[in-house]
Structure formats: C-alpha cells, structure tokens
Amino acid sequence: MPFEISVNLEYMFHEAGERLEDRMAAAAAAGFRKVEMFTTANRDVASLKVALAAFGCTLVSTVTDPRIQLVMEAQHETFREMFAKAAAEAAELGAAQVVVPSGSAVPYMKRPVQLAIVASAIGSVVPVAEEHGITILLEPVNTRKDHPGVLFGMTEDAVAVIEQVNSPSVKLLYDVYHSVTEGEDPAVILPQVAKHVAHVQVADNPGRGEPGSGTIDWPAVLALLTQTGYAGPIGAEFTPTGPDTVAALAYLRGLCA
C-alpha cells in the first residue's frame, strides 16, 4: 500500500535556512505536506501556526524535552508542567501526537522498578493528553551509538510502560533505525508490537542517512508495515548524505508511492 511521507524539519531542508518556517516552505514546494519537529519550547508558536496554514502543511508530532529523567520522581512535577505546555502548544499547531522520551536510566534500580516509575509519570499526564486530543508517543532509541544510557533502549522497554499505563492515549513510536541499531530484527519485533504502534520513523543503518544509503532492506520493511496493518505516515527522520534534501528523499518517496 502507498504511504505518505512526513519530513522532520530539524534534520532536513537545511538548504532553505535555519527557520523551520522556511524549511516548511521548501518541503511544501517539493510536495511534502506532513512535517515533524522537536520541542515547541522557545519557538514562535504563532509564526509556526501561520506557516502551517500558509503552506498547507499538517504537523504530525512534537517532542517534549528529552533531558527530563522520568525515573526520578522528584522530576515528575516539572515533567507534568512541561507536558501540559507541550500538549497545549501541539494542539494549537494541530499536531495530534507528542513524543515523550524516557530520559536516562539509573544504575542503582532494577529495570522493572524504573519502568514502573516512568509508567506512573506517563499515567499522570494522560488526562491532559485527553483534554487536548493528543496521543502520547513513547519512543525507544538506541543506546549503542546515539543515546547511551537512555532507559527506553529496546522496544520492549517502551511497550512495558504502554501496557502498564493501559490507555488508548499512550502508543508506540517505532523507529526502524533505532531498532536495527540496537540489534533488533523488525521482522520479529513489529508483529509483536503492531497493536501499539501509532507512528513509524525511518533512517538507514549505518550512518542514519536516507533510506538507500545503508544496508536496511526498505522494500521488505514497507511490506512488513503493510502486513502488520500500519497505515500512517512514514516519518523521515534522517540526516541527508548530500546537500539536496529532495534528492535524498527520492528513493523513499518512490517506494512509498
């Protein structure tokens, strides 16, 4: 089945300049109408809203501050305040999803204890997410190269929290690059977690470049996503290996079409 591509403006269209609004304009001009970004903190939300409307783009997701360490209960109140602001701003921009990173693990607590503490934190903001019509996405990211020490290193870590919270407002962001870099096999993992997946992101491995620049079998991955029932956009979250973002997206674009 065809997939629509959602482009992350933090990684791509740098040739258009530093402003996300200008990168959005470039993405729209190239035919990409779904976009993603990181945190809205310290960003001009009003300007972004105007740009989204002007260029006919939909914001798929934003991200809360990854530095919050959710295993530390002393940080939970700060997390709740941050999430409330992030959810309100995401809703203002029309985004239906907010990604919540786990932050770092600690060496002095067993993993199940840490995951239970994180589940408590996530559960405490579910009413806020529901109020704004937001889905909370939990994203495992690899510890082997990009995020050493993070708690959600394996897909099973985020899924354990999702199942403990047990809310339709808490889902999984499955990033193929992070999963493969962590040593997981998507053909094994995806069928197991498909019911939790609300969004998928991609980059190739090694190098986190565009699909086609590494060794991942992307036709097989897209076929697997179809087989497991995923019908959402494919979030392109990679660093182009060349200066032309549109060229870097060409291979993925052809596959998704």
Give this prediction's pTM. 0.97
What tens digit of pLDDT does each residue of 172-195 get?
999 999 999 999 999 999 999 999
Spatial distance between the Cα atoms of 15 and 25, rounded to a whole number of angstroms = 12
What tens digit of pLDDT does each residue of 220-253 get?
999 999 999 999 999 999 999 999 999 999 999 9
Amino acid 157: pLDDT: 98
Domains of the chain: 5-256 (3.20.20.150)
Amino acid 144: pLDDT: 96
What tens digit of pLDDT does each residue of 22-32 get?
999 999 999 99
Other residues' Cβ atoms within 10 Å of the Cβ of residue 132: 18
Closest CA to 136 of 78, 62, 76: 62
User: Phi/psi of residue 211, each to 5°?
Assistant: -50, 130
Cα distances (Å, whole numbers) of residue 93 to 8, 35, 89, 100, 222: 15, 11, 6, 17, 29
For 98, the 3-state DSSP assignment is: strand
What is residue 134's DSSP assignment? P
Amino acid 251: pLDDT: 98
Q: Which helix (H) or strand (E) holds 173?
A: strand 170-175
The region that residue 57 occupies, defined by phi over 0 for left and psi between -120 and 50 for alpha, beta otherwise, is beta
Average pLDDT value over all residues in the chain: 97
| Cβ proximity of 235 and 60 under 8 Å | yes
What tens digit of pLDDT does each residue of 67-120 get?
899 999 999 999 999 999 999 999 999 999 999 999 999 999 999 999 999 999
